[in-house]
Amino acid sequence: MASIITLADEARYAFDNLLEGVLGGPSTLRLGVTGLSRAGKTVFITALVHNLIHGGRLPLFDAYASGRLAGAKLQPQPDDAVPRFDYESHVRNLVDARIWPRSTRRISELRVTLEYESASTWKRTFGPGRLDLDIVDYPGEWLLDLALLNKSYGEWSAEAVAMSREPHRQQLAAEWHHRLQGVDPDAPADELKAQELAGAFTSYLRAARADEYALSMLPPGRFLMPGDLEGSPALTFSPLDIAPDREPVQDSLAAMMARRYESYRTHVVKPFFRNHFARLDRQIVLVDMLAALNAGPAALRDLEQALADVLACFRPGRASWLTSILSRRIDKILFAATKADHVHRSDHDNLGALLARLTEKAAKRAEFAGAEVSVMPMAAVRATREVTVTRGGRKLPAIAGVPLEGEEVAGEVYDGASEIALFPGDLPKDPESIFEAARQFQSKPRDLAEEAHDDTLALRYLRFRPPRVERSETGLKLSLPHIRLDQALQFLVGDRLQ
């Protein structure tokens, strides 16, 4: 990551951090929450805040379990230029409507103030402690964009075209490939041609992200969530089939594409890094392992590459009072395999082992730089309960819940209202066996749809509705149930409440 940041950038980041330290004080912790599409970012933040404010069951969150956490309350959003995370609306969706909130489409932020009593007798003499927890929510696809800062237009084009020709992507990119065939990069710049190619390229990215295929390597991220940039020249470009080191002819189509690519890096990617990413203290990366397993070996391979690129973007390091002022570093990174409630607890360790295998190499690099890294299976909102089912005279550990409307098993389509009991299958105890299956598929290219529905791994997971949240004796809604949310809180925040 160091190669994409100039000395001038570093000086500016240091000045920003110094100013923030003076104005915000040492009692502020900025927690970044990210994950690739549909990993559960919005649900995680909503559940975390709801449990803190409403006194949820958090036995592994030390400050809460020991009675030192006096309270938690929302505060006004500290950054006037950043949208506020719509916590109240998301709670209504989860608790009242029992629907999952919409996916993260933009950056947002929320401040929660934690008031606590220090565990240290010496610190308690100075009165109660206070920590402003600033939670920053941003799409994981934007994180993948940071890698573009280290690639020229030619390098990115060659890489994107080569990736689109891989067996599991070629079918999805067919229309874009067709339009690329007749393109002369040296032809005069043509706005209509640029729009045509950008539209076809975006359609390919959108198809690759669909649930059926669940591919993760989809930069540029803003092509799928353009916001107020939709239709702008900064989003109207496409890779061309050119050599990585080729210099575009002046005023040509390739020159126009390269210029717009540079505008995207300058006006979209770099401000995100400077204004948000470079200011984080802690980071949680949510990973939907089950969606990748559902979609097949191609999706799993793709997720592995995406996570490697995500991890390469972090600025890990050991935090100190000086580094926190001059150069913000992420000193704790948590990788969480979400939707742990979709498998029985007997499979949780196997789910965590799969994620640890995916992130192993990059996690070691972060630890070498001084950051503390942890991996855990988690469900920010638990949508199922555990039951036992009998099949062929055998009792099997299973889960029970209400599948989302339209979910299907063995030809039966569910209505979104009826509860079912389901044995989801067993994850292998050795994660390497799944990656070995993925490598075998890579050496035997097949039709993408055939691969996505192959039963070799025999793993299929349903999506469930949020649970029905019970009311207390006083009529108040209880906190949202979870799996290991308290353990995540302890890792990410616990040391700051000592």
Mean pLDDT, 10 residues at a time, over the chain (498 residues)? 48 47 65 87 96 93 94 92 94 93 87 90 70 92 85 96 93 96 95 97 93 84 84 94 94 97 94 86 92 84 83 61 53 93 94 90 71 93 94 90 91 93 86 73 50 50 90 70 97 94
Residue 136's Cβ-side half-sphere holds a number of Cα atoms within 13 Å equal to 22
The confidence score (pLDDT) of residue 150 equals 86
374: CB partners within 8 A, 6+ apart: 332, 333, 334, 335, 491
Half-sphere exposure of 241 (CA within 13 A, CB side): 13
The helix or strand, by DSSP H or E, that contains position 343, with its residue range, turns out to be: none
Report the C-alpha dihedral over residues 258, 259, 261, 264, rounded to 10 degrees: 180
pLDDT of res. 22: 45
Q: Supply φ then ψ for residue 201, to 5 degrees.
A: -65, -40
Give the pLDDT of residue 410.
79
Show me where the domains of the chain are located: 2-138+276-382+481-497, 144-268, 385-452
Correct CATH for 2-138+276-382+481-497 of 3.40.50.300, 3.30.2350.10, 3.40.50.10070, 3.30.300.90: 3.40.50.300
Strand order in the sheet with 385-391: 385-391, 394-401, 420-422
Length, in residues, of the chain:
498
Cα separation, 319 vs 299, whole angstroms? 35
Q: With 0-12 CB in 10 A as exposed, 13-18 as middle and 19+ as buried, what is 2?
A: exposed
pLDDT at 93: 94
pLDDT, one tens digit per residue, over 381-415 is 999 999 999 888 889 999 999 999 999 887 899 99
Q: How far apart are CA 113 and CA 134, in angstroms?
A: 9
Residue 434, token pair as written in the block: 């799944």
The per-residue pLDDT for 92 is: 93
Q: What is the pLDDT of residue 236?
A: 96
Alpha helices, DSSP H only, in 25-86?
41-53, 62-65
pTM: 0.85
